[in-house]
Amino acid sequence: MKNRSEQKKSTAFSASLRKTGKMLLRVFPNIFAVVLLSGLIMEFVPMDRLSTFLGGGFFTDGLIGAGIGSISIGNPLVSYVLGGELLDQGISLMAVTALLVSWVTVGSIQLPAEIQTFGSRFALLRNGISFVFAMLIAFLVLVTMQFLAS
């Protein structure tokens, strides 16, 4: 026979499981939309054509790279291969770094789901800070690589 403490734990676990299931059902349409939209964007904005958008200058390359990365969504493991390919196509290190950092950290495609889950203030602040830091990290990587090359 279960004692009172075990019954409370069992009841609390069941309530948590029900609450989690309801939340998952509530956010599932947004998660599905995020995956669908990111797949469409990645299909219609091929990475090999990015070199036509980039090449305008130091700050412009970083801003465009971070912007493109922000509207995409990606896996950190894939970013190493993608970064190498983009660099091989002649895209600047600033643009590639900004693109990849924002690709992994900023998620404007998933913003509606993030707002629904965490609230608009948190989601917008997190994405804004991530965008700014993507630009800062790209600049610092460029400066570091120039320092190491000299």
The per-residue pLDDT for 2 is: 58
CA dihedral 105, 109, 112, 116 (to 10 degrees): -40
The pTM assigned to this predicted structure is 0.67
pLDDT at 103 over 60: yes
Place of tokens 């896996």: 75
Q: Is the dihedral of CA 25, 30, 33, 39 positive or negative?
A: negative
Local structure of residue 48 (DSSP, 8 states):
G
Domain spans of the chain, in order of start? 4-149
The pLDDT > 70 percentage for the chain reads 83
pLDDT over 70 (residue 41): no
Helices in 1-119 by DSSP H: which ranges? 4-44, 50-53, 58-71, 76-88, 93-105, 111-118
Is there a contact between 62 and 95 (Cβ–Cβ < 8 Å)?
Answer: yes
The CB density around residue 125, as the number of other CB atoms within 10 Å, is: 11
